[in-house]
Amino acid sequence: MQDSNAFENQAFAWKPSAEVAERAQITRFMREVGVSTWDELYQFSIRDVEKFTEEVLKFLDIRFDPPYDKLLDTTNGIEFPKWFQRNADAVRTEGGVPAAGLNVTTMCLDRWQADEMKDQPAVICESEDGEVKEASFAELLDLVERCSAGLREKGFGKGDAIAIHLPMTIETVAILLSINRIGAIAMPVFSGYGVEAIASRLSAVKAKALFTCDGFPRRGKFYEAFPTAEEAVSHCPSVEHIFVLKFGKETVSGQLETVSYCEFQALLSSQGGKCESTSAEDPLIILYTSGTTGKPKGIAHTHASFPIKAAQDMAFGTDVGKGTRICWYTDLGWMMGPWLIYGALINGATICIYDGAPDHPTPDRMWEFCAKHNVEVLGISPTLVRSLAAAEERNSDGSSRFPPFKRHDLSSLRILASTGEPWNPGPWWWLFEKVGNSKLPIINYSGGTEIAGGILMGNPILPIKPCSFPAPCPGMDVDILDESGKPVERGQVGELVIKQPWVGMARGFWEEKERYLDAYWRRFEGIWVHGDWAMEDEDGSWYILGRSDDTLKVAGKRVGPAEVESILVSHDDVIEAAVIGVPDEVKGTAMVAFCVVSEPGAIATGLEVELKALVAREMGKPLAPSAIYAVPALPKTRNAKVMRRVIRSAYLGEDPGDLSSLENPQTIDAIRQLNDR
């Protein structure tokens, strides 16, 4: 494995002030466990994972009824640990339930119904058309109880799978929690999915119901969601009811029987809203992720896995506590949607949702939203940052006194955060220097749906280098290994791995045990291999350098696409880039680059030569791309991951496989046409 020099000799861009460190949630936790430095905390967290997890549960005030007797049991192997177990005597005498009792909705809602907390905002939602709705913790609990009653009245209960095909709204939050509250299993799907993507997921989990809507506004037009959902249900006989929310003005009509959201809300009875007794290890949610290869994977999580890890990362990484206003621009079909809901509510924070296009009707819409609702923590993807930065350039021609973000008072912001893909330096610096005025940390966050959150993450007490992760998340025993499974030296690139279990780890793939083991556990015995190339520099900062299954071997040298892509987007005319490898008789593999450029005709007028020379200068002539193409957009998932396997297959005229997770499948046609020239 070659050295990576892309991030060598970088200086720290941000360092925490004494005031920031003092107020941080992670500082309070460190005092509670009796450590004074980050290094001491991290070593404690991996030296005794069980004790560390118990301290996290105390910090988050997670209460079990009945309590567990043994937190973690790995006698059946690290791949399938048992959590929150009760002893044999308790199981025999108290109903035969092997795990401690926990319905996570009580930790999200019921515990906040005392004192002034019940009247604090739990969710604030603004739609694209400007309508703002707000629900306090008391109001949200009432809404959840009504939804729960409606579901029970319709015959749904513990263990039933219920799908959610909705945009991010207050009602969506309530529906997710109401499914959890009756002990059913939630299965979110991306609100923009097509028929096949929805139908395949409904069938895989044998869903008994689907929540959908008539549609929702996007870029000033009304996107009709119901016809797609109804057709998907027609292919899934297990679905007994379709519950429809109405956001538009027209009446919903279809071939299948539907129930309006208002109808079942009205079914509340004196006993209807009670909380189902569930085990901490009862299934809570199935989250589908496409990964980079193959068909979608249904990730199974429990009441005590995904929510607790989400709440821990949110508290320690993005410094969220009671009353914090946090916005993450996301969809319920991506893990960051449920992550936002569970994590914020467990911490007693306020979820701020913007449901619409972030640059509509003007490029400053996201900044306007943050100012209006006093957002403190903003989660935003590198892809969106690149788009917003480009909008600033288009508006800095003298026609506007201020760039878009300066039109609004962003003084409430204290943390910027990002996840979904590796950063390129240019957009990172734009967000840090211009939007954050070089004062706000960018908390970089990387992990996955299977992790229930992060492997690597920044926090408010560690200095930050551009594009980096200052450290692993507490409790994540992380290393970087070479091809033989041995740790690499600092400055060397290798496979990112996890060596001990953590509370949020997936409880497998839904009904696909062997596929789960193949995906993560069979490369090195007893070690989770995540599939990312990573590097730790001499100062202890970590970097994700792309997916390891995307790695190219050109002229005998291994190259991560992200490294070349960062060089390409450093050019002023390149907005985004993706690099793939294609067969080559001489090199074995040749690099081909696809760029979204500010001037589409620039490739034909000399830009290709400039870009090849730029890569050759930085990487060496043998590693310059053989061809560079301009494309209107790159195929991406909803969580902004560029799908290189899809690009490669389309370019080579091969079957690209599952495309259901793509936000913009039309981009494939433009790539296919390139190789037909």
**pLDDT band at 247, cuts 50/70/90?**
confident
Q: Is the pLDDT of residue 399 over 60?
A: no
Q: Rounded CA gap, 646 and 652, in Å?
A: 10
Alpha-carbon separation of residue 112 from 62, 117, 136, 196, 347 (angstroms): 13, 6, 10, 40, 10
Q: Assign residue 84 a region: left if phi > 0, alpha if psi is -120 to 50, beta otherwise?
A: left
Q: Rounded CA gap, 148 and 555, in Å?
A: 60
Give pLDDT tens digits for 571-580: 888 988 999 8
Domains of the chain: 18-102 (no CATH), 105-357 (3.40.50.12780), 551-674 (3.30.300.30)
Both structure tokens of 246: 């109405």
Query: Minimum mean pLDDT among 325-339, 383-397, 403-417, 517-531: which range?
Result: 383-397
Contact (Cβ atoms closer than 8 angstroms) between residue 420 and residue 444? no
Largest CA distance in the chain: 79
* pLDDT at res. 56: 98
Q: Rounded CA gap, 334 and 345, in Å?
A: 18
**pTM of the full predicted structure?**
0.84
Q: Is the pLDDT of residue 292 over 60?
A: no
| Arithmetic mean of pLDDT, 343-367 | 92
Q: What is the DSSP string of 236-301?
A: -TT--EEEEE--SSSPP--SS-EEEHHHHHTT--TTTTPPPP-BTTSEEEEEEE--SSSS-EEEEE
| Arithmetic mean of pLDDT, 553-577 | 78
**Which letter does DSSP use for residue 101 in this model?**
B
Q: What percent of the chain has pLDDT over 90?
A: 56
* pLDDT at res. 8: 59
Query: Could you give the 3-state DSSP secondary structure of residue 653?
Result: coil
Q: Is the pLDDT of residue 485 over 60?
A: yes
* pLDDT at res. 556: 54
Higher-pLDDT residue of 123 and 510 is 123
Per residue, the 3-state secondary structure of 141-176, as one string, reads HHHHHHHHHHHHHCCCCCCCEEEECCCCCHHHHHHH
Give pLDDT tens digits for 51-88: 999 999 999 999 999 999 999 999 989 999 999 998 87
* Number of helices followed by number of strands (H, E) in the chain: 21, 28
What rounded mean pLDDT belongs to the chain?
87
* pLDDT at res. 291: 47
* pLDDT at res. 309: 98
* pLDDT at res. 636: 83
Q: Is the pLDDT of residue 47 over 70?
A: yes
* pLDDT at res. 90: 64
Contact (Cβ atoms closer than 8 angstroms) between residue 389 and residue 363? no
Query: Minimum mean pLDDT among 124-128, 277-281, 293-297: which range?
Result: 293-297
**Which letter does DSSP use for residue 621 in this model?**
G
| Arithmetic mean of pLDDT, 307-319 | 98
Give pLDDT tens digits for 19-28: 999 999 999 9
| Arithmetic mean of pLDDT, 168-184 | 96
CA–chain centroid gap for 591, Å, is 29
